[in-house]
Structure 1
Amino acid sequence: MISRVSAEHPSLLDLSPRELERWLAEQSEDPYRASQILRWISLQTPIAAMSDLPQGLRSRLQDQFTEGYLASDQGIEGEGAVRFLFRLKDGEAVESVRIGEPADYTACLSTQVGCGLRCSFCASGKFGWTRNLTQGEILGQVFALRALTAAQSGLDGWPRHLVYMGMGEPFHNYSATLESVRYLIDPNGINFGARRITISTAGLVPEIYRFAEEDLQVGLAVSLHAPSSELRRSLMPIEEVYPLSRLLKACQTYIEKDRTPPDFRVCPSL
């Protein structure tokens, strides 16, 4: 679904591959143009420089869409990771993290500006929740990290793994999070391996049940951070709403759906 955070033209990054194909059909363009455009988008190429598209098509794209690419400074390095701050078009900002060496790194993505869960160990929660990111703003982090890494290393820049563990609770932005995953794993687009993607949750029980029904081979990580409900409550206010007993039951149901068992995390995340 096309999303907007302003009254501007929608971002190309907020179009799903299917929506792009439908738009091209409305323009009487050949279907293969979608793959060409998706490749250019993944490389953060300006519409005007998408050289294998006819000039008329480029003009129509420019008339109806913005590119929506994100940009960052060189990043702050420390403890085996590089943190990048991305400024959004409404002036808000989110952080993404490149973990590991450029040839074999994990990209840690944000899904919200701020976070409303207020876990005691998380800096994002101290500022509260501002808004959800759009599909395009989530994808923009992936493509920007690829471009930054490629420029710095001379490699293609693609991450080995993607983890939705940055700012925000991914399941509080369920639709945009899942739309970005489907975009990335689409075989006619980026074709990123689903098993190389992990979504982390602080323990939103209804969304774990919902996620168990999705036809996706994407990993799930669950932030426990404590072996008992009492201790967890002191660290994570969500324990008051979804206590450990309900959370573990939801995880068991998830496993029974022939899913890979969740990765239970007991140490504070990045």
Structure 2
Amino acid sequence: MENKVNFFDYDRVSLEAFFSSIDEPSYRARQVFQWVHRRKVINLADMTDLSVELRHRLSSLGSFELPKVVEERRSQDGTIKWLTTLWDGNIVETVLIPEVKRNTLCISSQAGCALKCAFCATGRQGFSRNLSTSEIIGQLWLAEEIVSNYRQEQFKLSNIVMMGMGEPLLNYSNVVSAMKIMLDDFAYGLSRRRVTLSTAGVVPGIDLLGSDCPVSLAVSLHAADDNLRSRLVPLNKKYPISVLLNACRRYSKNNLNSTVTFEYILLKDVNDSESDALKLTSLLGDLPSKVNLIPYNQVEGTGFMVPNIDVINKFRMILNDAGIITITRKTRGSDIDAACGQLAGRVDEYSNRQQNKKVPDEKVKISG
């Protein structure tokens, strides 16, 4: 049968609607979700609490298709990076950061990125396309399955960060659908505070997310004034800092005054001065927030350098003294190009001819 569906593209509400459309009770979606996401069973024939007739019928209508892991790289610090190929030849990257008390998975949402942030390897690859829900949630499914096989025991991730390749809010519908699966009690059952979406500042998407799927929000800020931020993050020309921070205030207020995390990559002699730190304290003073300082991870061709440790410590101290919770993020996976800003994958050459086109998404667009 042509045009079979990929059941990995469905969150539970969508899968319930699918079962209703074929005159089956909606609770079948819960059964299938538990087989697929909890037990890691994707062969319909093995889903034994479904009738044989229904299993045959579902097999004629669709299947569970995953991207393929083509390479694994391991860092000396324990970080693991997987290169995953998609059906069209694009390759995206997924990073597992294991720690003593938690395991964090960094997931990609696009093949490439159209935002062209000055310090980031992904944007230098150009933009090819948005990932489907199955290609996003598939990264989580595969990570748990691969590590479980290593350890010969069931492996559970404790935290998910949508901080891989691409701008998640420019693939809004598919990202939200995937995050709903992450949060679903019949799938991964993660709490909202353990799923973090990081954005460069797509303001309409922040407002939508606050009502549709209010997970933890992180914002890639990287500068405390518009002139500098527009150089580092060109999206700032569309959504300047004041507009962005007002969206963050709305997000926090509408979600029980939740804390917004601001990511700030420290670039030597660019945004690392005491004056920059003081400007940042002024910007964030009335907003429930914390700051992650990220010492710059080298990306070939950018011309940026990392500040020395004394400058980093002084910057952090100024923010902490102003009452803003601030940590310096430990660099992980830099020896395998898995650290923040280093993910590049391999984007189809088609993207190089498409970089100036708007990113397609039916709910959130950049215009004008």
Settle same-fold status: TM greater than 0.5. yes
Do the aligned partners of residues 56 and 41 (structure 1) sit closer, same or farther apart at CA in structure 2, a change above 3 Å counting?
same
Which residue in 2 is equivalent to 1:37?
32
Q: Is the 8 A contact 1:83 1:95 kept in 2?
A: yes
Maintained 8 Å contact 1:102/1:153: no
Specify whether residues 22 and 155 from structure 1 end up closer, same or farther in structure 2 by C-alpha distance, changes over 3 A only: same
Match of 1:202 in 2: 200
The code of the aligned residue for 1:87 comes to: T
- Residues 21 and 31 in structure 1, CA contact (< 8 A), matched pair in contact too: yes
> 1:131-188: CA deviations, max 9, x gaps?
1111111111110111011111233222100010001000001111111111222234
RMSD: 2.1
* Residue number in structure 1 paired with 2:86: 88
SS at match of 2:42: coil
Measure, in 2, the Cα distance between the counterparts of 1:36 and 1:209: 33
**What is the aligned partner in structure 2 of residue 20 from structure 1?**
15
| Aligned sequence identity (%) | 34
Distance in 2 between the 1:136 and 1:175 partners?
12
Partner SS state of residue 258, structure 2: coil
2:69 aligns to what SS in structure 1? coil
* Structure 1 equivalent of residue 221 of structure 2: 224
Q: Does 1:10 align with 2:8?
A: no
Report how many residues are paired: 263
CA distance in 2, matches of 1:259, 1:172: 25
Report deviation, 1:54.
2.5
Q: How far apart are the structure 2 equivalents of 1:201 and 1:211?
A: 11
Residues 13-162 of structure 1 correspond to what in structure 2 (within 5 A)?
Answer: 13-42=8-37, 43-73=40-70, 75-78=72-75, 79-101=77-99, 104-162=102-160
Aligned partner of residue 125 in structure 1, secondary structure: helix
How far apart are residue 80 of structure 1 and its match? 3.9
**Aligned counterpart in structure 2 of residue 250 of structure 1, from 247, 252, 270:** 247
- Contact persistence 1:86–1:94 (CA under 8 A): yes
Kept after mapping to 2: 8 A contact 1:111/1:169 = yes
Query: In the TM superposition, what whole-angstrom CA distance separates every residue of 1:181-234 from its partner, at most 9, and x where no partner exists?
Result: 1122223443222221000000112222222333x4410000011233222222
Q: 1:163 to 1:254 in 2, by over 3 A?
A: same
Bigger Rg over Cα = 2
Gapped regions of structure 1 (runs ≥ 5): 1-6
- Which gives a bigger RCO, structure 1 or 2 (Cα 8 Å, sep 6+)? 2
